[in-house]
Amino acid sequence: MRIPWAATFLLLSASVLFAREATWLDSVSPVMTAAEKRTYLSLGTEARQRFQDNFWAEKSITAEEYYRRLEYVDSTYGSTKTASGANTDPGRVYLSLGPPDRVTRIPSSRIFAPLEIWYYNTVPAIHLETELRLVFYQKNSLGLPKLYSPTLDTIRALLLPQSSTISMFGPNDELTESDIRANLNVGPAEDEVITAAVGVASGIKHTGNDELIGQITSPEFMLGRKQRTEVESRFFVARPRMEAIQSVSAFGGRQVDFVLDTAASHQIDMQVLGGSVTLYKNHLQLNFPYARPLQYTHRLDLLPGAYTVIFSVDGKAFPYNMAVANSSVMGEIVRGTETSDSARTLKPLVFSGRTFTPNDAGQSAMVTLAAPGEVTWILRKDLQVISKSRSMARDVAVFDFPAHLAPGAYTLEAASGSESRSAEFTLEQSETNEKIHLSFNANLQPALRWSFLGHQWLLKNNLGEARRCLEASLALGVTKDAEVELARAEALAGQWDEARTRVRKILAMQPNDFESLSIFAYIETKLQDYGVAAELYRRALAVQDSAALREALASLPPVSVAN
C-alpha cells in the first residue's frame, strides 16, 4: 500500500514531535547553560514561551537537527527518559558532533575488548582540521561503550584480561605505536586500534588529548553558542599567531616563509598536509628550563593549492588553513625590521641578501612582488600624505618609516604595475623585543628544494614535472630525498625491479626511512606478496602515522598460512 504524502511527512517529522511532547526543559538540558536555566525558571508562562521560541537563535545547531540527534542517542544508548542518551559517552559525542564520517567495529578479538573507532574528518567548531579518532570500548565486554582516553586509560584498558597481556604494559606508560607493535602482533583489521590508542588526532599529545575530549563530550560547549565564521587574512585567527609570507620561488611553485610567534620550552613540530596526505614533517627539539617567548621561521616551496599547516608547541597542536596562489601575485604589506645578511646564509626571510624580521614594533615595512619593477610607497595619517617615495625592486620592496615620526595610526600603501596593497599601522614608542629567533635552515639546499617539489608533483601524478625537478636535484648532487622520489616515480610507472632495488639500497643505510618503507610496501602489494607488504606497512606506521597507510594495510587480502 502506498503511504500518502501527509503520512510520510509525519513519519519524517517524528523526532521533532517526540521532543515537543516531552518536557521542553528536559529535552534541551544537554545544550542549556546554567545561566539560561536560571533565567528560564524565573520567567512566567508567556515569557517562557518567548524564551523557547528564541532559544535556538544563538546556538550552532538548528532545533530540527538537535532533536534528530537526541532521538537517536536516546533510542540507541539511553532509556525511555528524554535526554537519557546524553548521559552516556557515545551519546554526548553524537550530540556534539553528529554521526561520524566512518566507523571501524571490532565486536570480537583475541586481544581487544569489543570496541568501535569513530572517525571525523575535521571538527571546524574547535579548529581541528585533522582526522579525529575516538575509541569506544566495553570494559570487561559488558555494559555501555566507554570513551577511551590515551592518557588516563592507556592501551591496557583496551586489552582483554588474559595472562598473555595483563602485565605487558605499565599503568602509566607513555607508549608510542612502535612500543605497542613491538609487543602486540595484530591483524590488519585490528591495526587501526594501535594508532587510535596513542592519540585522538595527529599532533595531539599528552594532556592535549584530554582537553580535546573534554570539549567534544560537552554538547553545551560545542553547540551552546553560534560559531563565528573565521575571516581569512594574512594573519590567521588562532593562537599562537602565524604568518605565511608568499613570494616568487626560483624552483617552482611559491616560496612560503612561515613565521610563528609563540612560547616554548621543549619542542616545536611542523606538519604540512595537502588534503589527508602529509607533504612535510619536521621536529625541532628545544632545551629551555621554562617556556621562552620566541619567533620560529621555516621556508618551503609549495605548489598552488589548499593546505593545512599544523604547528605543535610542547605537545599542543595548532592547525592553520592556507591557500597558495595559482599565479605570482603581490603579497601583503608586513611590518618588521630589515637587516643586511652579508654571509648570504640559506635561511627563511632572506630576500636578495637582506633579512626581514616581522614584528609589530619594526621601523620598516616590506611587500613581496610578482615581478621586478618600480614600487610607489605612500604613507598617510588620516587624509594627509606624510611621505611618498619610489624605488626599483626585484623580489621584495622595503619601506623605512621616516625618523621621528609621531606615535599614532597610519595607512601605508604600496603600488607596482596594476597591483596595490594597503595596511594600517600604529606607531608607538619603541619597546625592547626579548624574543628568541629560531629558524630551520636544513631543508634549503637547492638540491633538496628541487627534490621536495618533485615529491609534490608525484603526489599530483604529474610524472613529467616530477622527473624534471628530480633531474635538476640530482644535477646538483645525489641526495636521499631525490633517490626516494625516483623510486616512487619508477613504482608509479610500473618499473618494479628498478624501484625495489633503489629503496633496498636506501633501507640498507636507513632501515626506518618512512618514505622508503611506504614505497616498498606499495611495490610488494602490486606484486601480490601481501605478507611482506603488511609487515612493511606496519614498520612504516611505527615510524609515522598515516591514514592512507592504515587504509592500505586494512585493505590487504588475508594471508593464508600453509600447514
User: How many contiguous H segments (helices) and E segments (strands) does the chain have?
Assistant: 18, 21
446-554 CATH: 1.25.40.10
Which amino acid is residue 99, in one-letter code?
A: P
Least trusted range by pLDDT, from 241-250, 325-334, 431-440: 431-440
pLDDT digits (tens, 9 = 90+) for 415-425: 998 888 888 88
Q: What is the pTM of this model?
A: 0.55
**Strands of 292-302's sheet, edge to edge?**
241-248, 254-264, 292-302, 436-440
Residue 153 grid coordinates: 586509560
Predicted confidence at residue 121, as pLDDT, reads 85
| Residue indicated by cell numbers 570496541 | 115
- Work out the pLDDT band at 165, boundaries 50, 70, 90: low
Angle at 456 between CA 453 and CA 457, to 5 degrees: 90
- Work out the pLDDT band at 228, boundaries 50, 70, 90: very low
Residue 149 clears pLDDT 50, i.e. is over it: yes
Predicted confidence at residue 379, as pLDDT, reads 94
pLDDT digits (tens, 9 = 90+) for 282-304: 999 998 988 899 999 999 999 99
pLDDT digits (tens, 9 = 90+) for 315-324: 888 888 788 8
Predicted confidence at residue 83, as pLDDT, reads 85
Predicted confidence at residue 134, as pLDDT, reads 95
DSSP helix/strand/coil, 483: helix
DSSP for residue 227: P
pLDDT digits (tens, 9 = 90+) for 103-146: 999 888 888 999 999 999 888 888 787 789 999 999 877 888 99
- Domain residue ranges of the chain, discontinuous segments joined by +: 241-440, 446-554
pLDDT greater at residue 463 or residue 344: 463
| Residue indicated by cell numbers 592507556 | 154
Contact 427, 405 (CB under 8 A): yes
Residue 391 clears pLDDT 90, i.e. is over it: no
| Nearest by Cα to 515 from 552, 490, 483 | 483
List the beta bridge partners of residue 419.
416
Instruction: Give me the percent of the chain exceeding a pLDDT of 90.
Output: 33
- Work out the pLDDT band at 343, boundaries 50, 70, 90: low
- Spatial distance between the Cα atoms of 545 and 44, rounded to a whole number of angstroms: 56
Phi, psi (deg, nearest 5) at residue 130: -110, 170
Residue 154 clears pLDDT 60, i.e. is over it: yes
Q: What is the mean pLDDT of residues 368-379?
A: 90
Residue 19 clears pLDDT 70, i.e. is over it: no
DSSP helix/strand/coil, 212: helix
Predicted confidence at residue 454, as pLDDT, reads 92
How many residues in the chain? 563
Residue 524 clears pLDDT 90, i.e. is over it: yes
Q: How far is CA 142 from CA 72, 166, 344, in A?
A: 21, 18, 66
Burial class (CB in 10 A: 0-12, 13-18, 19+), 442: exposed
Backbone torsion region of residue 132, taken as left when φ is above 0, otherwise alpha when ψ lies between -120 and 50, otherwise beta: beta
Q: How far is CA 524 from CA 227, 296, 495, 553, in A?
A: 47, 40, 12, 12
- Spatial distance between the Cα atoms of 101 and 194, rounded to a whole number of angstroms: 20
Residue 259 clears pLDDT 90, i.e. is over it: yes
| Nearest by Cα to 481 from 461, 451, 458 | 451
DSSP for residue 131: -
Predicted confidence at residue 552, as pLDDT, reads 87
Angle between helices 514-526 and 530-543 (to 10 degrees): 160
pLDDT greater at residue 227 or residue 334: 334
Predicted confidence at residue 202, as pLDDT, reads 75
Is-cis flag, bond preceding 240, omega within 30?
yes
- Spatial distance between the Cα atoms of 45 and 29, rounded to a whole number of angstroms: 19
Task: Kindly compute the dihedral angle of the four CA atoms of residues 123, 128, 132, 136, in this order, to the nearest 10 degrees.
Answer: -70
Residue 339 grid coordinates: 637587516
- Spatial distance between the Cα atoms of 407 and 315, rounded to a whole number of angstroms: 39
Instruction: Give me the percent of the chain exceeding a pLDDT of 70.
Output: 88
Predicted confidence at residue 194, as pLDDT, reads 87
| Residue indicated by cell numbers 605543535 | 312
Residue 172 clears pLDDT 60, i.e. is over it: no
Predicted confidence at residue 26, as pLDDT, reads 87
Least trusted range by pLDDT, from 48-62, 83-97, 340-354: 340-354
pLDDT digits (tens, 9 = 90+) for 187-208: 766 878 888 888 888 777 777 7
Exposure letters 514-546 (e unless 16+ CB within 10 A, then b): bbbbbbbbbbbbeeeebeebbebbbbbbbbbbb
Contact 485, 459 (CB under 8 A): no
DSSP helix/strand/coil, 354: strand
